[in-house]
Amino acid sequence: MSSMKIIILDDDAFFLKALQRTIHRTITNVKITTITDINEFWQTLDKTPDIDLILSDYLMPQMNGLDVLEQCALKNPYPVRALLTGDMTLNTITRQPNVVHAYLAKPFNEADLIALFENVAALKSLPFAFNVRKQLGSMVGFPIYPVILKKLRDLVQSDDCNLREIAAVVSQEPIITAKLLQLANSAYLGFSQPTSSIDQAVSRLGVKILIAITTSLLSAKSFESTIPEVVHEEQLHVAANYAGCVKSFAKMAGFSVDDQELLFSVALLSFVGKIILLSHGGHKMSFNQQIDIHDAYSSANVVSAYVLKLWGYDTKMCSLLMSCHDVTGMQESELVKLNQALFIVKQVLFYEHTPEQLAQYCDSKGVDPLLCNIISKFDWHRYTS
């Protein structure tokens, strides 16, 4: 992978030197330009269109960091935009529509800084064409990474994680709790016994599915003021139905529980991009260079992959989101069958192809014979009626 190009803007030269030393000590393959003057910053931005990350301090005498990043979104939307701030409550610095992709504490937290750089590097490795990434970077109203979701994911990744602590974090959001219980009791997941408590729901859903559902619900909260609740509900229903269907299909195909949960998560998290596109007035974004996007569902998946990668989600998940519109589009051998399963379910649910037609098509494209055989045997009526 080529080196990441990063610009850091801060009027404090001593802080810049300390930050640069930390980055070089912990992160390899990175080219850093540090700047203290706003005019020099704009000149550098104009001369370097392929910058991967702009990191700007918030409090500066010439121009505050939010104004800087808003101008960056107009002048060169390609780079990821991050704001350094001492106010991590975000109450006084966030604006609507939001153009900041990530917020970092100042003085900086080394672990958060490394996570940001790793996410930007992984994003750079995904097959976004230059113009597509500029389109994605020009999105206004970018959803802010929910604090509760960060707590939840940090807890899950810790060595002493337990379900009770996870349930306690989820319970901080009553609306999220209610929705989790609703989904845990829904037909999408096929459980025969009802779930009455959040502790039971966490245990029943499992960590991967829990985080996927929580991510979908919290991301939707970012757009409460721009999208009617009924639209949220409709889109969540579509995504949950898709997720439940692909999980059932994968189970019938003998996929491992981990792979079933991964596919459920990918399908459900397509909801994130759909909601973002709707908040932008429909499906006005058109991605076609090197990604071969043809429709609103696929466009939503590209947006989902971009947002989720910046939030630190697994690259496998993002790759599947970007490839599942193309049955032969997955290059990673370990993900080929997963991609094929997603493709098959999408064709039936969203494009209304008959199982017979789809089985013939998939067979002609070299899809795994077991999956081709299951197409005609699967109970599609349960998810299409």
Q: What is the structure's pLDDT at 90?
A: 63
Confidence of residue 349 (pLDDT cuts 50, 70, 90): very high
Of 60-69, 146-155, 276-285, 355-364, which gets the smallest average pLDDT? 276-285
User: Residue type for 57, please?
Assistant: D
> What CA–CA distance (Å, rounded) separates 243 from 247?
6
Q: What is the structure's pLDDT at 296?
A: 46
> What CA–CA distance (Å, rounded) separates 282 from 68?
28
Contacts for 238 with CB less than 8 Å, ≥ 6 apart: 271, 274
The helix-helix angle for 163-170 and 198-205 (nearest 10°) equals 120
Mean pLDDT of 269-295: 62
> What CA–CA distance (Å, rounded) separates 166 from 170?
6
Q: How many helices (H) and strands (E) does the chain have?
A: 18, 5
Q: What is the structure's pLDDT at 277?
A: 84
Listing DSSP states for 168-215 in one string gives HHHTT-HHHHHHHHHHHTSTTTT-SS---SHHHHHHHH-HHHHHHHHH
Confidence of residue 262 (pLDDT cuts 50, 70, 90): very high
Contacts for 222 with CB less than 8 Å, ≥ 6 apart: 141, 143, 144
Q: Are 147 and 339 in contact (CB under 8 A)?
A: no
The 10 Å CB-count burial string (b at 16+, else e) for 66-80 is: bebbbbbbeebbbbb
Q: What is the structure's pLDDT at 38?
A: 95
> What CA–CA distance (Å, rounded) separates 204 from 211?
13
Mean pLDDT of 331-337: 94
- Distance linking the first and last C-alpha atoms of the chain: 47
Confidence of residue 292 (pLDDT cuts 50, 70, 90): very low
pLDDT of 222 > 80? The answer is no
Q: What is the structure's pLDDT at 294?
A: 39
> What CA–CA distance (Å, rounded) separates 385 from 379?
11
pTM of the complete model:
0.87
